[in-house]
Amino acid sequence: MPEYKAPLRDIRFVRNELLSFPEHYATLPGAEEATPDMVDAIFEEGARFCEQVLAPLNQSGDREGCSWSEKGVKTPVGFKKAYQQFIESGWPSLAHEPQFGGQGLPESLNLVVNELCGEANWSWSMYPGLSHGAMHTLHTHGTPEQQQAYLTKLVSGEWTGTMCLTESHCGTDLGMLRTKAEPQADGTYKITGTKIFISAGEHDMTDNIIHIVLARLPDAPEGTKGISLFIVPKCLPDDDGSAGERNAVTCGSIEHKMGIHANSTCVMNFDGATGFLIGSPNKGLNCMFTFMNTARIGTGLQGLAHAEVAWQGALSYARERLQSRSLSGPKNPDGPADPIIVHPDVRRMLLTIKSFAEGNRALLYFAAKYVDIMQHSESEQERKAAENLLSFLTPIIKAFMTETGFESANLGLQCLGGHGFISEWGMEQNVRDARIAMLYEGTTGIQALDLLGRKVLMTKGESLRAFTKIVHKFCKAHEKNKELKAYIPPLAALNKEWGEMTMQIGMKAMKNREEVGAASVDYLMYSGYVILAYLWADMARVAKAKLAEGTTETGFYTAKVQTADFYFQKILPRTRMHKACIEAGADSVMAMEAANFQV
């Protein structure tokens, strides 16, 4: 398997040259310590840890997997030791409040560390990664006592966290969940029920795991209006704050999965376990969305991670593998064949991967700036505007980035031909690990309904306009720039069409609500391609300016421009297909009677 190399040059390009993070931090309240020197030092040290500690455990962890016994779940060799190094270096506390033991740095900085960890070893990264949602939920909705008891331990990394939502009979339809919460005289609750697909629900890396659990109170209303949220620790804290008596929560089994073998996916049994209410009764779904939005952005990051791994593995192989001759004449005349990177179809695959990896990195970091603003701005108006834009972007980040991440992983394997199917190269593991990302935290279909139904149509297009205004201003500012004539006119046309198409779907939906479901996935993918077009146009602008200045990194910036050209000419036309499918409507989707779906 090719050696993982942290993509720090591209990370710095996106953060410093495209999105101006140094200036962003200089004006962000509470980010005074995030100086360029400090940020660079953090990235260099994070890269070293990921390259030297996590990446070597990726394939061995996949082969060994997790093992279950009545005593608990054992993680692969080296995982626990790596986690101890991780917390000793202070990585879990990077972006959390100092009052809880955090370092108070911006979330956008922490996101880069999460990216590097995920690229180096996605299964391992899930153990600390899932704690972030639990921490955000406790920080937003927990009482001071709950924060002191649990948040400080989660921030230090001494304990980890999970979210326990799904049950075998209901999946995404949480209104059907059956887990019960019975009030006790001392103010606690007895939680009884079974949750499935709980990532990192049981492991040997910490001595306590804090489960955030959805359950129903005895007199709760039906459906989603009757769901409450609870803290259910694996071990109840002692008076001194350490992990004490074992709670009545156990791992019944771990799933045998297609991928992410080194992360334990658990069936969790709650047998009258002691729980503590978070927030108000029957308002658990509201509290949960704090958790879910964090998790969905993190899952989008997974799509980026698998695209980057595909890029590094496929590029390394394509440069070295000799096979056939170039159609335009030998490029390696002294060898028996040319390296496969000379062949147009291999280049098509490589450039597709590159355009998604680098485009999605720009999208994720673009969103991260607004996370910072939402969390730290002193202006309520700025915070609200950032929250609205993130609400629109989150389902796109989760679904589009995981769909294109999986496509990239597949193309990465394809570049290796038959060798891609062999485990020693690591590309088939990347495909297997990537596949789950389109499923958990809400499938692509669920995200698409959320985007088109809730975020766009229910706001009468307001959330969409928040983004299309950004694109419109960009296009107006550069419409006379001859260097950008390959990008600005098609981008401006798509931006206009986006709004018009949304209105047409809304009009159809007034007559037939099935039109929303029939159009939603095509609408989400169309949206993702347009957003990346905006970001690639902007990256081309920056790169062309650097080349005009006479940079010494001619190869890097030229590659940026050429990748932008490839994206606009070979990837962006996919919007035509999605538009045609949207315009075809719901009739052909819904016409067949259910009884006629037969084997």
For the annotated catalytic residues, the residue numbers are: 441
Of 572, 570, 540, residue with least CA distance to 557: 540
The answer to whether residues 495 and 489 touch, using CB atoms and an 8 Å cutoff, is no
Q: What residue has token string 């694109």?
A: 471
Compute the distance between CA of residue 335 and CA of residue 342 in angstroms, rounded to an integer. Answer: 14
Residues 346 and 336: their CA atoms lie apart, in Å, by: 19
Q: Can you state the percent helix, strand and coil of the chain, rounding each to 5?
A: 65, 10, 25
DSSP string, 155-166: HHTSSEEEEE--
Q: Which DSSP category does 100 fall into?
A: G
Helix (H, G, I), strand (E, B) or coil at 125: helix
DSSP state of 192: E
Cβ atoms of 50 and 312 within 8 Å: the answer is: no
Q: Any alpha helices (H) in 232-379, and if so which ranges?
A: 284-320, 344-376
**Which 3 state secondary structure label does DSSP give 407?**
helix
Beta bridge partners of 269: 194, 250
CA angle 100, 106, 112 (to 5 degrees): 115
Give the distance from CA 580 to its chain's centroid: 29
Q: What end-to-end distance do the CA atoms of the chain give, in Å?
A: 42
Comparing CA positions, the residue from 363, 350, 369, 385 lying closest to residue 300 is 363
DSSP letter at 339 equals B
Task: Tell me the C-alpha distance between 433 and 265, whole Å.
Answer: 13
